[in-house]
Amino acid sequence: MQQTHLRRTQLTDEVADTLRDRIMTGELRPGDHIRLDETASSLGCSVTPVREALVTLRGEGLVRSSPHRGFIVEALDRGDIVDIFWMQAELSARLATHAAHHPDLAAHLTRMHQLVDSLEEAVDAGDHTAILRGEFAFHRQVNLTANSTKLAWFVFSASKYTPYDLYARDPEWAREAVSSHRRLIEHLRAGDTAAIRAEIHARFDDARDRLIRQLDSTDFFDADPATA
């Protein structure tokens, strides 16, 4: 019974991640109805994890429930996007500055170099799945080096709102990610906390602007959730 619950919880989280990503990229627009049966069918699962996932997203303010109408996507404006990426940048920058003071930093930097090399190979091959894995592995290594588990948890929670798949399919973004990670490694080596913060904020600012442009291209911000 416990194993079944754990599997369902994991599936619920996966469905929530998928729907959150669709909202953040504009695939699901403010005012759109998310129908349980249709969503379950498209994701190849039962209705239960979809309903549970939507309850989670309702708690995050991304959808609302309406009697007899199911769940409806809430409005998300430019200010929300700016705030989400500012928060991630601030938390990630603090983690990275912690990492700069690790007593065995040299060993961690060697591992970071290896991860960036692997990421660059994925970028050259145009393998967006490997790019996603490489990005996750690099940031995980920075977080491990920071040795601040509570802060890393907050970063992970905030990162749920970043549609990484959108970026991983963008060759320009992917190449710049490799260059940025290499610069960050050198800033960590030098213990230059100002440069660390600037590098991380620049990356999140770029990701923010790319997402806003993507949403603008679909007239996402012009949708009226009250009348859709």
Q: What is the pLDDT of residue 16?
A: 96
Check residue 23 and give its pLDDT: 95
What is the model's pTM? 0.87
Over residues 183-187, the mean pLDDT reads 98
Residue 63 predicted with pLDDT over 90: yes
The set of long-range contacts for 201-206, using a CB threshold of 8 Å and a minimum separation of 24, is 201/89, 201/93, 203/89, 203/176, 203/177, 204/85, 204/86, 204/88, 204/89, 204/92, 205/85, 205/89, 206/173, 206/176
pLDDT at position 205 is 98
**222 vs 17 pLDDT, higher one:** 17
pLDDT of residue 2: 39
